[in-house]
Amino acid sequence: MLKRSQVDSNLIILLIVGFISKSIFFILGAESSQTGFHLPISEAWQDYSYAYVPTIQDTESKFEKMFDKFYNLLNDESVIPASHLAINSGKIARAKLQLQTKITDKLLNIDNTNHSQEHKELIKGYIIEGFSEYFEESKDKEKIIEFVRKQLKSKSPRTRRQAEQFLRKFY
Protein backbone atom coordinates (compact mmCIF):
# COMPACT_ATOMS: atom_id res chain seq x y z
CA MET A 1 0.00 0.00 0.00
CA LEU A 2 1.29 3.44 -0.89
CA LYS A 3 1.92 5.96 1.84
CA ARG A 4 0.13 9.29 1.61
CA SER A 5 3.35 11.10 0.69
CA GLN A 6 3.97 8.63 -2.15
CA VAL A 7 0.43 9.10 -3.45
CA ASP A 8 0.79 12.88 -3.23
CA SER A 9 4.10 12.87 -5.10
CA ASN A 10 2.75 10.45 -7.73
CA LEU A 11 -0.31 12.63 -8.25
CA ILE A 12 1.84 15.74 -8.57
CA ILE A 13 4.00 14.02 -11.20
CA LEU A 14 0.90 12.93 -13.14
CA LEU A 15 -0.54 16.42 -13.00
CA ILE A 16 2.72 17.95 -14.22
CA VAL A 17 2.94 15.44 -17.08
CA GLY A 18 -0.69 16.17 -17.93
CA PHE A 19 -0.12 19.92 -17.93
CA ILE A 20 2.98 19.66 -20.11
CA SER A 21 1.23 17.31 -22.51
CA LYS A 22 -1.83 19.54 -22.72
CA SER A 23 0.41 22.51 -23.44
CA ILE A 24 2.27 20.70 -26.20
CA PHE A 25 -0.92 19.50 -27.85
CA PHE A 26 -2.47 22.96 -27.54
CA ILE A 27 0.57 24.55 -29.17
CA LEU A 28 0.41 21.99 -31.97
CA GLY A 29 -3.26 22.82 -32.47
CA ALA A 30 -4.51 19.28 -32.04
CA GLU A 31 -7.50 20.15 -29.90
CA SER A 32 -10.68 18.22 -30.59
CA SER A 33 -13.66 20.52 -31.00
CA GLN A 34 -16.03 17.72 -29.98
CA THR A 35 -14.51 16.87 -26.62
CA GLY A 36 -12.30 19.78 -25.64
CA PHE A 37 -9.47 17.30 -25.08
CA HIS A 38 -6.22 17.78 -26.90
CA LEU A 39 -5.81 14.74 -29.07
CA PRO A 40 -2.59 13.67 -30.74
CA ILE A 41 -1.93 14.58 -34.34
CA SER A 42 -1.10 10.94 -35.05
CA GLU A 43 -2.95 8.48 -32.86
CA ALA A 44 -0.03 6.08 -33.03
CA TRP A 45 2.21 8.81 -31.62
CA GLN A 46 0.31 9.49 -28.45
CA ASP A 47 1.62 10.37 -25.04
CA TYR A 48 -0.30 7.72 -23.14
CA SER A 49 0.43 9.26 -19.77
CA TYR A 50 -1.57 12.25 -20.97
CA ALA A 51 -4.50 10.03 -21.85
CA TYR A 52 -5.29 9.00 -18.31
CA VAL A 53 -4.24 12.12 -16.39
CA PRO A 54 -7.33 14.10 -17.43
CA THR A 55 -9.58 11.36 -16.08
CA ILE A 56 -8.42 12.29 -12.57
CA GLN A 57 -9.43 15.92 -13.08
CA ASP A 58 -12.36 15.28 -15.44
CA THR A 59 -15.32 16.74 -13.59
CA GLU A 60 -17.18 17.45 -16.86
CA SER A 61 -17.07 13.81 -18.12
CA LYS A 62 -15.09 14.76 -21.20
CA PHE A 63 -13.29 11.43 -21.23
CA GLU A 64 -16.59 9.60 -21.67
CA LYS A 65 -17.15 11.57 -24.89
CA MET A 66 -13.84 10.37 -26.31
CA PHE A 67 -14.02 6.87 -24.81
CA ASP A 68 -14.75 4.98 -28.04
CA LYS A 69 -12.16 6.91 -30.04
CA PHE A 70 -9.58 6.29 -27.34
CA TYR A 71 -10.32 2.57 -27.12
CA ASN A 72 -10.20 2.24 -30.90
CA LEU A 73 -6.44 2.47 -30.35
CA LEU A 74 -6.64 -1.18 -29.30
CA ASN A 75 -7.08 -1.83 -33.01
CA ASP A 76 -4.21 0.43 -34.11
CA GLU A 77 -1.95 -1.18 -36.70
CA SER A 78 0.98 -0.91 -34.29
CA VAL A 79 1.23 -3.03 -31.16
CA ILE A 80 2.69 -0.12 -29.16
CA PRO A 81 -0.44 2.06 -28.79
CA ALA A 82 -2.56 -0.97 -27.93
CA SER A 83 -0.06 -2.11 -25.31
CA HIS A 84 0.20 1.30 -23.69
CA LEU A 85 -3.57 1.69 -23.73
CA ALA A 86 -3.96 -1.70 -22.04
CA ILE A 87 -1.58 -0.83 -19.20
CA ASN A 88 -3.06 2.64 -18.69
CA SER A 89 -6.59 1.26 -18.68
CA GLY A 90 -6.07 0.22 -15.08
CA LYS A 91 -5.35 3.80 -14.08
CA ILE A 92 -8.35 5.03 -16.04
CA ALA A 93 -10.60 2.41 -14.43
CA ARG A 94 -9.48 3.50 -10.97
CA ALA A 95 -10.20 7.14 -11.79
CA LYS A 96 -13.49 6.46 -13.58
CA LEU A 97 -15.25 3.77 -11.54
CA GLN A 98 -18.42 4.08 -13.62
CA LEU A 99 -16.46 2.98 -16.72
CA GLN A 100 -14.81 -0.12 -15.25
CA THR A 101 -17.17 -2.66 -16.83
CA LYS A 102 -16.99 -0.90 -20.19
CA ILE A 103 -13.19 -0.82 -19.99
CA THR A 104 -13.03 -4.48 -18.99
CA ASP A 105 -15.25 -5.46 -21.92
CA LYS A 106 -13.10 -3.50 -24.39
CA LEU A 107 -9.94 -5.18 -23.11
CA LEU A 108 -11.49 -8.64 -23.10
CA ASN A 109 -12.35 -8.21 -26.78
CA ILE A 110 -8.70 -8.03 -27.85
CA ASP A 111 -9.16 -11.15 -30.00
CA ASN A 112 -11.57 -9.18 -32.19
CA THR A 113 -8.87 -6.72 -33.26
CA ASN A 114 -6.84 -6.80 -36.49
CA HIS A 115 -3.54 -7.59 -34.78
CA SER A 116 -1.63 -10.72 -35.66
CA GLN A 117 -2.07 -13.59 -33.20
CA GLU A 118 1.48 -13.03 -31.95
CA HIS A 119 0.75 -9.37 -31.19
CA LYS A 120 -2.56 -10.23 -29.53
CA GLU A 121 -0.72 -12.65 -27.23
CA LEU A 122 1.73 -9.90 -26.30
CA ILE A 123 -0.98 -7.28 -25.73
CA LYS A 124 -2.83 -9.70 -23.43
CA GLY A 125 0.09 -9.50 -21.00
CA TYR A 126 -0.32 -5.74 -20.86
CA ILE A 127 -4.06 -6.16 -20.40
CA ILE A 128 -3.36 -8.35 -17.37
CA GLU A 129 -1.14 -5.59 -15.97
CA GLY A 130 -3.98 -3.13 -16.48
CA PHE A 131 -6.44 -5.46 -14.76
CA SER A 132 -4.15 -5.73 -11.74
CA GLU A 133 -4.56 -1.97 -11.19
CA TYR A 134 -8.29 -2.28 -10.45
CA PHE A 135 -9.09 -5.95 -9.99
CA GLU A 136 -9.79 -5.72 -6.27
CA GLU A 137 -12.56 -3.15 -6.82
CA SER A 138 -13.85 -4.62 -10.09
CA LYS A 139 -17.39 -5.96 -10.46
CA ASP A 140 -16.18 -8.24 -13.26
CA LYS A 141 -13.81 -10.44 -11.29
CA GLU A 142 -15.06 -13.72 -12.80
CA LYS A 143 -14.62 -12.49 -16.39
CA ILE A 144 -11.14 -11.20 -15.60
CA ILE A 145 -10.06 -14.41 -13.84
CA GLU A 146 -11.37 -16.50 -16.76
CA PHE A 147 -9.38 -14.36 -19.20
CA VAL A 148 -6.22 -14.53 -17.10
CA ARG A 149 -6.47 -18.32 -16.66
CA LYS A 150 -6.59 -18.75 -20.43
CA GLN A 151 -3.34 -16.81 -20.68
CA LEU A 152 -1.52 -19.50 -18.70
CA LYS A 153 -1.33 -21.30 -22.07
CA SER A 154 -0.31 -18.21 -24.05
CA LYS A 155 2.40 -18.51 -26.67
CA SER A 156 3.94 -15.35 -25.22
CA PRO A 157 6.28 -16.11 -22.29
CA ARG A 158 5.75 -12.59 -20.97
CA THR A 159 1.97 -13.00 -20.97
CA ARG A 160 2.19 -16.42 -19.27
CA ARG A 161 4.40 -14.88 -16.58
CA GLN A 162 1.95 -11.97 -16.10
CA ALA A 163 -0.93 -14.45 -15.77
CA GLU A 164 0.91 -16.52 -13.19
CA GLN A 165 1.82 -13.45 -11.14
CA PHE A 166 -1.73 -12.10 -11.34
CA LEU A 167 -3.29 -15.36 -10.18
CA ARG A 168 -0.78 -15.72 -7.34
CA LYS A 169 -1.59 -12.22 -6.16
CA PHE A 170 -5.38 -12.16 -6.56
CA TYR A 171 -6.68 -15.73 -6.71
3-state SS assignment for residue 156? coil
Q: Which domain holds residue 163?
A: 4-170
**The pLDDT of residue 12:** 60
**The pLDDT of residue 40:** 42
Cα gap 28→84, rounded to integer Å:
22
Q: Mark 100-113 as b/e (b = at least 16 C-beta within 10 Å).
A: beebbebbbebeee
**The pLDDT of residue 60:** 80
**The pLDDT of residue 34:** 41
Q: Under 8 Å CB-to-CB from 169, ≥6 apart: which residues? A: 132
Kindly give the confidence (pLDDT) of every residue in the chain, 171 residues in length, as a single tens digit, with 9 standing for 90 and above. Answer: 445 454 455 556 655 655 555 544 444 444 444 444 444 433 433 444 445 455 567 778 888 888 898 899 899 888 999 999 999 999 899 988 999 999 999 999 999 999 999 999 999 999 999 999 999 999 999 999 999 999 999 999 999 999 999 999 998
**The pLDDT of residue 41:** 36
- Report the domain count for the chain: 1
**The pLDDT of residue 26:** 45
Q: Under 8 Å CB-to-CB from 92, ≥6 apart: which residues? A: 51, 52, 55, 63, 99, 103
**The pLDDT of residue 69:** 87
Q: Mark 130-163 as b/e (b = at least 16 C-beta within 10 Å).
A: bbbbbbeebebeebbbebbeebeebebeebbebb
The single-letter DSSP state of residue 33 is: T
